[in-house]
Amino acid sequence: MKERIVRLKKLTYIPQNEIAWLIEQAELSVKQQEIIEENKRQQEVTVHQFRQAQKDIQHLSGESSRYKQALEKIITNLNFAITVAQNELEGDAE
């Protein structure tokens, strides 16, 4: 392709078939640029989605931690209530 371009630059008259080739190459270049721009746009969307997913994971991890702590408190309180109830039952049995 480079060789053909160099040869065309040297010509004072460009034949019709060479003009058609130049037009075709220009159209291909435009299509390639459009594809590159679409890929960049998709990459930006993907990066945004990834960052949002990271934030969501951090948020859910925090929620999970809070639920775990609350559940541990409930279990501790239930164990205490069970112990108290057992002591009362043992006291009533005597």
Query: pLDDT digit string (tens) for 45-55?
Result: 999 999 999 99
- Per the structure, the complete domain to which residue 55 belongs is given by 2-93
End-to-end CA distance of the chain: 104
Q: Which of 1, 51, 47, 41 is nearest to 21 (CA)?
A: 1
Q: Model's pTM, two decimal places?
A: 0.55
Q: Tell me what pLDDT residue 50 has.
A: 96
Q: Tell me what pLDDT residue 7 has.
A: 78
SS3 13: coil
38, burial (CB in 10 Å: exposed 0-12, middle 13-18, buried 19+)? exposed
Q: In the chain, how many domains are there?
A: 1
Our measurement of the distance from residue 92's CA atom to the centroid of its chain's CA atoms, rounded to an integer in Å, reads 63
pLDDT tops 70 at residue 93: no
- Beta strand extents in 1-94 (DSSP E only): none
Of 3-12, 16-25, 73-82, highest mean pLDDT: 73-82
